[in-house]
A and B are shown apart, each in its own frame.
Chain A
Amino acid sequence: MNAAFREPGSGRAADGPGAKAVLEGPDIRRALTRIAHEILERTKGGDAVVLLGIQTRGVTLAERLAGALEEVEGRAFPWGSLDVTMYRDDLRLKPARALGRTEPPPEGVDDRVVVLVDDVLFSGRTVRAALDALNDLGRPRAVQLAVLVDRGHRDLPIRADYVGKNLPTSMRETVRVLLAENDGRDAVLLGPVAGTAEEDE
């Protein structure tokens, strides 16, 4: 999911009525560490790996994942950000919104194994937009997908390679990821539909 068009600094501090935390800070840290290990295993040491976080919270997660990889391997992993706003298929449904940064690492993406990182995988439309955006940046050797939460209900034939937590939900529920860097604390909240326009994806 892409939260680039959320009100900046709204913080989600209020969990909303009926929202409950399904992951807390330590759970998130463990999930990212596990994903880091899985990436190293699947990419045979992660030599060609580049992490690209999808704006906004995906970028934070990409940075954390790079840290987790460095902790295991003892060397820095390139990471960057990807804004998919201008590739979205729902652009025409809302007024034009502010753009986030697209800043691939200096190494670029050509011939790399790009791991796209996002907070929530839902319909798959954001990931589709990300694949299109990536296509305009260069030609990776392979593209993989890491998400903190997979909540199901895909509209497109897209699946994640690395999942922090599979979270069965109903369509009416909302899933919100809070990260300390963006929101002041770490948590994944599951709540009933709040009726706002800020539905995931």
Chain B
Amino acid sequence: MNRHLISAADLTRDDALLVLDTAEEMAQVADRTVKKLPTLRGRTVVNLFYEDSTRTRISFEAAAKRLSADVINFSAKGSSVSKGESLKDTALTLEAMGADGVVIRHGASGAPHRLARWVQGSVVNAGDGTHEHPTQALLDAFTMRRRLGDLDGRRVTIVGDVLHSRVARSNVLLLATLGAEVTLVAPPTLFPVAVGSWPCEISYDLDAVLPKSDVVMMLRVQQERMNAAYFPTVREYSRRYGLDAPRMARLPEHAIVMHPGPMNRGVEIAAEVADSVRSTIVEQVANGVSARMAVLYLLLGGSEPAIGKEVPA
């Protein structure tokens, strides 16, 4: 059985810290003239993308290439998948190509779990349905640590569509592992009914939470939620849960504003907030490559993965 990174819960505290420390070293490579390491020479990484996500795919691609891995991009559009090939048959094809690692983005929650049972290589979840996006959580934690130092006891507020957000799920799990105190803020319709069992606080009142936040992370409002009675209108959502300049002013002076992108400017985040010095949105992109390099190195660099977990039967 191989180890994979499918859920942020697959990482112990030591694992998570190892990834963040490794990412810190990887980040240095970006500042050098030769932005490349020979570490994964001869390893094959397949980017298996069933959903369009240019930013995540190029981030993983850059990470794998900086580590000298051979990268095969396999996107569902215009491939055998669009001709009705099943995930299992695609998995067997990848297996025949000798993929050491498979990075998968899929619209169905749990697709990476399924894939992991059909391939020998390590599976990295690059976002599955409304389940998880663990490397996003890692790059977020990495960004927070670079700005604020140790995350133990830091107060992180995550605002938006928690119910459908893989970013929120992974962040809650990882940040809890790292000792941060997470508060989720959303209208009640956008919380899972069992959110009470998660290792975090919940609130319906953004203004009350902001003054106590070291980090505020705004989640994207998906277009399809806007027409499904989760909230009356976009304008009302924005008024109650959007981050604008007056709200930002309620944050402590050191606090940072994050967004996993792509943003809806004027909906969950005002343009002046997104472009302010507190915003880490551009850093998050650069940090994404470092965090993913760390994950790929720790999973594929040695004789066996140094992090991650086996999938349950």
Do A and B touch directly, given a CB cutoff of 8 Å in the complex? yes
A→B interface (CB under 8 Å): 83, 86-87, 91-102, 132, 135-138
- Name B301's closest neighbour in chain A (CB-CB): A96
Q: Are A86 and B39 in contact (CB under 8 A)?
A: yes
- Residue of B18, B33, B302, B306 with most chain A CB atoms under a 10 A cut-off: B302
Known interface pairs A86-B39, A96-B299, A136-B36; A102-B305 also in contact (CB < 8 Å)? no
- Name B38's closest neighbour in chain A (CB-CB): A87
Our pick among B21, B33, B297 for the contact of A86 (Cβ within 8 Å) is B297
Known interface pairs A87-B38, A91-B39, A136-B34; A98-B21 also in contact (CB < 8 Å)? yes
20 new A-B contacts at CB < 8 Å, known A87-B38, A99-B25: A86-B37, A86-B38, A86-B67, A86-B301, A93-B302, A94-B302, A95-B305, A95-B306, A96-B298, A96-B300, A96-B301, A96-B305, A97-B302, A98-B21, A99-B21, A99-B22, A102-B25, A136-B34, A136-B37, A137-B34
A88, chain B: closest CB distance, angstroms = 9
Across-interface contacts of B18 in A (CB, < 8 A) = 98
Across-interface contacts of B38 in A (CB, < 8 A) = 86-87, 132
Q: Are A95 and B303 in contact (CB under 8 A)?
A: yes
Total residues of chain B contacting the partner, CB 8 A: 23
- The A/B interface has a contact count, at CB < 8 Å, of 53
Tell yes or no: B32 within 8 A of A by CB: yes
Cα separation A135 to B301 with both chains bound (whole Å): 21
Our pick among A83, A91, A94, A136 for the contact of B25 (Cβ within 8 Å) is A83
- Residue of B39, B301, B306 with most chain A CB atoms under a 10 A cut-off: B301
Q: Are B306 and A97 in contact (CB under 8 A)?
A: yes
The contact sample of 26 A-B pairs, CB cut-off 8 A, is: A86-B37, A86-B297, A86-B301, A87-B38, A87-B39, A91-B39, A93-B302, A94-B303, A95-B303, A95-B305, A95-B306, A96-B299, A96-B301, A96-B302, A96-B305, A97-B302, A97-B306, A98-B18, A99-B25, A100-B25, A101-B25, A102-B28, A135-B34, A136-B36, A137-B34, A138-B33
Tell yes or no: B152 within 8 A of A by CB: no
Cα separation A99 to B21 with both chains bound (whole Å): 8
Question: For chain A, what secondary structure do more than half of its interface residues adopt (helix, strand, loop), or is it mixed?
Answer: loop
- Residue of B21, B299, B303 with most chain A CB atoms under a 10 A cut-off: B303
Tell yes or no: B201 within 8 A of A by CB: no
Tell yes or no: B304 within 8 A of A by CB: yes
Across-interface contacts of B298 in A (CB, < 8 A) = 96
Q: B residues 276-313 with Cβ under 8 Å of A?
A: 297-306
Q: B residues 143-179 with Cβ under 8 Å of A?
A: none
Known interface pairs A91-B302, A137-B32; A96-B25 also in contact (CB < 8 Å)? no
Across-interface contacts of B28 in A (CB, < 8 A) = 102
